[in-house]
Amino acid sequence: MSYRIAVIGDLSTSTGMALAGVSYTHVHKSREETLEKLRKFLEDESIGLVLLTYRIAEELEPEFGQLMRGKGMLPVVLKIPDKTGYMPSIDELSEVIRRTVGTEVTIKGEMR
């Protein structure tokens, strides 16, 4: 089975992803509307990946966190920077790896 990609973002992010061939896009306008669309994306068995911007994910808390804890393995949900390049000060992926492995993993030549 091949899965589709869905994007939730600002107008620029959604338009760019649609032009790149992403199947489903949603332009964030209101919190309630976006939460409803996210629920639909999570329930759709044809969607394997949902991308949404960090800013929108933060705006959707705490419901976003509850949805992530209650979902299955698919679709995978990834947060991406928006057009401003915004990323939170805490790198969530590094934090998950640190908790899983029990120590911080650094790649040779990568220093913070």
Please tell me the predicted confidence (pLDDT) of residue 92: 67
Give the model's pLDDT for residue 39.
95
Q: pTM (2 decimals)?
A: 0.78
For 13-39, the pLDDT digits (tens) are 999 999 999 999 999 999 999 999 999
CATH topology of domain 4-87: Rossmann fold (3.40.50)
Q: What pLDDT score does 43 carry?
A: 94
Whole-angstrom distance, CA of residue 51 vs CA of residue 92: 15
φ, ψ dihedrals at 78, nearest 5°? -120, 140
Which parts of the chain fold into alpha helices (H)?
11-19, 31-43, 54-59, 63-70, 92-101
Q: What parts of the chain have a pLDDT lower than 50?
A: none
In the chain, where are the structural domains located?
Answer: 4-87
